[in-house]
Amino acid sequence: MEKKRVEVAVGVIEKNQKIFVCLRSKDQHQGGLWEFPGGKVEAEEDVFSALKRELKEEIGIDIHSSTELMRIEHDYPDKAVCLHIHIVTEFAGEAHGAEGQPSQWVAISNLHELDFPAANKAIVERLQAAQKE
């Protein structure tokens, strides 16, 4: 049986050398772990449109632009994900857990202290490596 494949638009929201992260609900896939906000790319959407929609719904911001950071393909036991990770620095509104989820701004240098899903660890590594350059 072939695993379900999910395309996901992920926003790395950056402001003042800090990144906005949210805590996944216990009842979600990979629940109880921190994540970079975003969500599923619907069939009729491109990645930027999905990112714009998801970030408005999830953290209440309107993004003006994004820059692709990287793409990650990861196999979990129950599904395969393709994460389209974009850096977002130009946005309107104050990021917050618009769906009631805990959220916070975290210094890039401290991101490794949080528990992220396995697929997100490469994002943390890339952000911290870039900061040291």
Pick out the residues of the known binding site: 24, 29, 35-38, 58, 120
Distance (Å, rounded) from C-alpha 119 to C-alpha 78? 14
Two structure tokens written together for 66:
């994004």
- Annotated binding residues for 8-oxo-dGTP, written as ranges, equal 24, 29, 35-38, 120
In our burial notation (b when 16+ CB lie closer than 10 A, e otherwise), range 14-25 reads: beeebbbbbbbe
- Annotated binding residues for Mg(2+), written as ranges, equal 38, 58
